[in-house]
Structure 1
Amino acid sequence: MAVSNIEKFDDITGKIFAELYQSFPLPQALLAEDFVEKAVQFDEQVGTEVPTDETEFFIATATWLMQAGYITCKTYPYVGIDNAVLTAKGLEVLKATPESVSSKSTIGEQLAVSAKEGGKEVARGLVSEAFGLGVKILSPMIGLS
C-alpha cells in the first residue's frame, strides 16, 4: 500500500521535530539526504544530479512548518534548510506530555526515541498530538473557541 502525503509529511515532521528538540536552542542545518531515502538523481537531459521528488517534499514540509510558526529556518532549494530552530510555539508543543499515553516523557522526548528506533506509527500519532496542541495555543490568539 502506498504511503499518503499526510503520512510522509508526519514522518518527516517527526524527524525534524526530534532533531530540533534535541539540539534546542542551537540552530541546525538539516540536509534532505538525512531525511529521505534518495535525495538526488542523475538527469540525462541536464547532465547533472537534480533533487528527487522526496527532496522537494522535505523542503515543502520544512517550509510549511516555518509558515505555520513551529520552526524558523532558511530554505535552500534542492539541498535542505539552514539555521533551523524551534519557535516558542514549537518548543511549547514538544515540551507537553501527551494525553494519549501514560508516559511522563514529553512529545519531543518520545519523538527523539521513535526517530532513532524507526517507530513511524508512534511518531505520526505524536505529530498529530503536537499539531492539536498548536491549534489550542493559537485558538485564543485568533478568536477560535
Structure 2
Amino acid sequence: MTKSNIDRFDEYAGLIFAHLYAAFPMRVQIGDYQFMPEAQKDGEFDFEMYSRESKFVEATILWLRDAGYISGQVISLGLLDAVLTSKGLEVLKATPSSLVNGPSLGDRITDAVKEGGKETMRSLVSEALGIGARLMSPLVGLSP
C-alpha cells in the first residue's frame, strides 16, 4: 500500500524535527540523504529509491522553513546552518494534550524515531503542526 503525501510529509517532518531538536541550539547542515536510511541497504546505495524520494524530502525541508519552524540557508537538496526557530522550539517543547505532565512533543517524536514508530511519529507531527498553527492565529489568547 502506498503512503499518502501527507503521511510521507509527516514522517520526513518527524525525522527533521527529531534531528534538529537533538542538535538544538547548534546549527547543522541537513540534506535529503540524511532522512532516507532505506536508500542505503546492505552496503548498496538504492539510487532509484533516492531519486524517487529526494525531491519530496527537499520539499518537506523547504516547507518547514517557509512555515517558520526551521531556519537555514538553502543549498542543493537541503539547508546549511539549519536550526529550530523560536516557533519550532516552542512547539516541540509543548506537552501533548493527552499527557499533562509527560514528555514534550520533541522528546516523544525523538523517541518514536529511535523506536521506529512511524504511526506514532506521524500523529505527533500532526499535533505539533496544529499547535504551530494555533500559535500563528491572530485570535489566540483573545477573549470575546
Category of TM-score, reference length = shorter chain: 0.7 to 0.9
Instruction: After TM superposition, list the pairs within 5 Å mapping 1:1-145 onto structure 2.
Output: 1-36=1-36, 37-38=38-39, 41=47, 52-78=51-77, 80-101=78-99, 104-140=102-138
Distance in 2 between residues matched to 1:82 and 1:109, nearest whole Å? 24
Distance in 1 between residues matched to 2:99 and 2:84, nearest whole Å? 24
Structure 1 residues 107 and 23, CA gap change in structure 2 (3 angstroms): same
3-state SS of 1:26 partner: coil
1:32 is displaced (CA, Å) by 1.7
TM-score (norm 2): 0.84
Identity percentage over the alignment? 45
3-state SS of 1:100 partner: coil
Structure 1 residues 103 and 122, CA gap change in structure 2 (3 angstroms): farther
Structure 1 residues 117 and 103, CA gap change in structure 2 (3 angstroms): farther
RMSD value, Cα: 2.3
Alignment length (residue pairs): 135
Distance in 2 between residues matched to 1:103 and 1:121, nearest whole Å? 22
Q: Deviations over 1:54-109 (max 9, x none)?
A: 1111110000000000000223234x322110000000000000013466100000
Alignment gaps of 5+ in structure 2: 40-44
Structure 1 residues 56 and 40, CA gap change in structure 2 (3 angstroms): farther
Q: Deviations over 1:36-58 (max 9, x none)?
A: 2338738xxxxxxxx61311111
Distance in 2 between residues matched to 1:77 and 1:5, nearest whole Å? 22
Alignment gaps of 5+ in structure 1: 43-50
